[in-house]
Amino acid sequence: MLTPERLQRLIIEFIFVLLGALLVWLGLAGPARGRTVDRHSMAWLVLSVALILWGLRALYKRGQWWLRWENWTRGLSLALLGVLMLLMSRVPFAWVGPMLAAGGAVLALRGIVGSALIFRPR
């Protein structure tokens, strides 16, 4: 049976799957190919560094032992997304769409793995 806490975590992971699917679609279908986001701005750099630090904090932070794999999944996905965003600011523009799709795949995979970890027996 789903407790309210597990249901909330499941909904959050489902949101990550949807967000990842949206980013994959934007990266591959072409709407992100326009120059709508300045990937060389200071805000992009701050956001990517913040995601890396947030992910590393999730890896380093102590928690309940049964949440260890969930914390690792969250931390690695955020750190990897931050690294991808940081790299996106330095690659040629033709690579931005596929890298955005890769970031979306990371988020969708995080949601799927996180959902599976929620349903495992403790």
Specify the pLDDT at position 19: 95
Per-residue pLDDT tens digits for 55-112: 999 888 776 666 788 888 989 999 999 999 999 999 988 888 899 999 999 999 999 9
Q: What does the pLDDT read at residue 24?
A: 92
Identify which of 85, 76, 87, 92 has the alpha carbon closest to the alpha carbon of residue 33: 92
What would the 3-class secondary structure string for 17-45 be? HHHHHHHHHHHHHCHHHCCCCCCCCHHHH
Q: Which residue has the higher pLDDT, 107 or 33?
A: 107
Instruction: State residue 71's pLDDT score.
Output: 86
Residue 33 pLDDT greater than 60, yes or no: no
Number of helices and strands (H, E) in the chain? 4, 0
pLDDT of residue 13: 94
pLDDT at site 35: 57
The per-residue b/e assignment along 32-66, b for 16 or more CB within 10 angstroms, e otherwise, is beeeeeebeeeebeeebeebbeebeebeeeeeeee
